[in-house]
Structure 1
């Protein structure tokens, strides 16, 4: 398609922004398609998380050993998201997301037949590597195809799809596992993801503003170095990792806590606890309004405070208090993630796929580390140990945000004499 500036002869206003926005043709289809991709990605990526007690029981494995069925997937995704983002520059965002979902779904249909814990972990690693193409390409696709003013809302909807996928996958696995076992539960998630993948492919509009790039490793390395040298981007990467460390730790371990005394909940009910993900759907979709009212840093402070309050509340032995704590943790996490990820897309003026990929690498590395360390902390100190780990990560987000605020004020003071002189 020719650029907007050359389309006067076709009746299009010269200089018009042809990117998608609410009310324009294709925006609703794009939102629904990426929502479906988000559902499939999170449902597959965390499909074993609600099943960890059952996996431990079948294979005679500890919580930390079983947690590798989650950490292997998120860790492989973290490692592969950057190279796959480079492939998306060459072959297109839409094509790479399609291939990634097809391979991940195929592996997902094999996972229920894993004969041992080692095979289960290996297959989950392959699945995580395949899924890396979705987040690597989705953020770049949105940055290219959506108007800047609508970008935070569009990313919020994609993140909301992630929360729905995480919730539905865990609920499905919880109840199916209670009735027919954890292997049947994983098969059910694989079939659900297959439906989502088909919907994604049929609904996603073709890219209209994608510019094919090269696979030059030197150029890729230069782009990565440039992004890592940007102080704001680097802070956003670490913030994403720390938020996900909290989330990964809490949701990897919460199943073990709820099936034990004093709660003694059955597997199906434990899976239903993940209905609190609906709160994440709302908070991530509302992230754009939060930033508009409070600014990016203000929204991050609110997300951090909500997460910390939820962690402290979850220490209670009352089920109601624990559930409210999970609600606050989930709301704070998804709001913080939506704010940080959208800030990355807006900050990077070039190499957006790599900028988003670096964020996703840090984000899922945080999930992998958080899941493993959360299980280790739970084994060593019970739920209190997991909460301490989460509070340390939250303190890291506060420190980085405060530093960013201080650095911005210092820059403003330095610029004031220059502005006055002019």
Structure 2
């Protein structure tokens, strides 16, 4: 059984499938962010409570990823990813019909659990099926799908909400998700190099504990937690500021502010080259200083 090589039709189909999957995952995850103001008004809740619509999904996703990666070792890579995307698409459509905020939170929590089936398995599939020389390109397209989905989901839902309300906005994302799931299912080749294994929960727990014993890894985990957390928090609440006086911007205009996140797709590549030249610690401290200055100025 040969590996998938760059330049072949099957490589293009596989890359396109994962681009669609990455877009789908992060569009569903972040589509609630520009809708928080609408949740606040309709359900008569505070901005802090409204932000749970994103927080519960993210927490459920993070925890569930630890489980789905192990389940794919037993059930297979493609089935876990396809069923994960399909379930998330259906739940997204159900979320659009939520009569109360508590029901919405329930569906968003379930969304986080089902969404975890894709990112936790995607890299394993690519590592098993793509030849080593072509792996970087395939992973790059998948990650770019993640980034574009995170931006696109926010912009699309924010724009739709102004014309169709938050129900229509989430339903629109759900329809896009169904289409992305179909594209992924028909485009992704079945695993050729996957070998089923027994589910060993003990080994999984030991591996996690071993990682937590390494202080350098713990520092990296902490940085990721704090940086992404502050980024999400800033964008959670900036809509409330920009739609109020003195700015009084429309929801559509405010949703387009998320395009700023695209800069990260290019700056990350540039930062990687700077790290190779000047070292990790120096570039990290410079980037943290720029981030802090940006937050203070904002």
- Higher-Rg structure is 1
Work out which of the residue numbers 42, 45, 62 in structure 1 matches 2:29: 45
Alignment map for 1:33-182 (pairs within 5 Å) = 33-148=17-132, 150-182=134-166
The whole-number CA distance in structure 2 between the counterparts of 1:300 and 1:38 is: 30
Per-residue CA deviation, residues 51-99 of structure 1 (Å, 9 max, x unaligned), is 1111101111111000001101111111211111110111122111111
Counterpart of 1:222 in 2: which secondary structure?
helix
Q: In angstroms, what is the RMSD of aligned CA positions?
A: 2.6
1:313 to 2:294 alignment: yes
TM superposition shift of 1:196: 1.0
Counterpart of 2:199 in 1: which secondary structure?
coil
Counterpart of 1:133 in 2: which secondary structure?
coil
Q: 1:20 touches 1:146 (CA, 8 Å); kept in 2? A: yes
Q: Are the structure 2 counterparts of residues 31 and 80 from structure 1 closer, same or farther at C-alpha, using a change threshold of 3 Å?
A: same
The whole-number CA distance in structure 1 between the counterparts of 2:243 and 2:291 is: 20
Could you list the runs of 4 or more consecutive aligned residues of structure 1 that deviate by over 6 angstroms after TM superposition?
Answer: none
Q: 1:164 touches 1:277 (CA, 8 Å); kept in 2? A: no
Instruction: Give TM-score scaled by structure 2 length.
Output: 0.89
Q: 2:275 touches 2:283 (CA, 8 Å); kept in 1? A: no
Work out which of the residue numbers 145, 168, 178 in structure 2 matches 1:184: 168
Alignment map for 1:253-292 (pairs within 5 Å) = 253-283=237-267, 286=269, 291=272
The whole-number CA distance in structure 2 between the counterparts of 1:165 and 1:106 is: 18
Q: Are the structure 2 counterparts of residues 120 and 157 from structure 1 closer, same or farther at C-alpha, using a change threshold of 3 Å?
A: same
Q: Are the structure 2 counterparts of residues 144 and 231 from structure 1 closer, same or farther at C-alpha, using a change threshold of 3 Å?
A: farther
Q: Are the structure 2 counterparts of residues 221 and 114 from structure 1 closer, same or farther at C-alpha, using a change threshold of 3 Å?
A: same
Quote the residue 1:224 is aligned against. 208
Per-residue CA deviation, residues 311-342 of structure 1 (Å, 9 max, x unaligned), is 523544xxxxx5xxxxxxxxxxxxxxxxxxxx
TM superposition shift of 1:242: 3.0
TM superposition shift of 1:40: 0.6
Q: 2:274 touches 2:283 (CA, 8 Å); kept in 1? A: no
The whole-number CA distance in structure 1 between the counterparts of 2:37 and 2:3 is: 47
The whole-number CA distance in structure 1 between the counterparts of 2:143 and 2:160 is: 26
Count of paired positions: 298
Quote the residue 2:275 is aligned against. 294
The whole-number CA distance in structure 1 between the counterparts of 2:125 and 2:134 is: 13
TM superposition shift of 1:110: 0.6
- Greater shift in the superposed pair: 212-221 or 294-303: 294-303
The whole-number CA distance in structure 2 between the counterparts of 1:146 and 1:305 is: 36
Instruction: Give TM-score scaled by structure 1 length.
Output: 0.64
1:196 to 2:180 alignment: yes
The whole-number CA distance in structure 2 between the counterparts of 1:300 and 1:23 is: 37
The whole-number CA distance in structure 1 between the counterparts of 2:118 and 2:15 is: 14
Per-residue CA deviation, residues 324-372 of structure 1 (Å, 9 max, x unaligned), is xxxxxxxxxxxxxxxxxxxxxxxxxxxxxxxxxxxxxxxxxxxxxxxxx
The whole-number CA distance in structure 2 between the counterparts of 1:170 and 1:99 is: 24
Q: Are the structure 2 counterparts of residues 269 and 121 from structure 1 closer, same or farther at C-alpha, using a change threshold of 3 Å?
A: same
Per-residue CA deviation, residues 158-213 of structure 1 (Å, 9 max, x unaligned), is 22111211111111111211112111111111111111111111112222332222
The whole-number CA distance in structure 1 between the counterparts of 2:288 and 2:181 is: 32
TM superposition shift of 1:31: 1.7
The whole-number CA distance in structure 1 between the counterparts of 2:232 and 2:5 is: 33
TM superposition shift of 1:306: 4.2
Q: 1:102 touches 1:197 (CA, 8 Å); kept in 2? A: yes
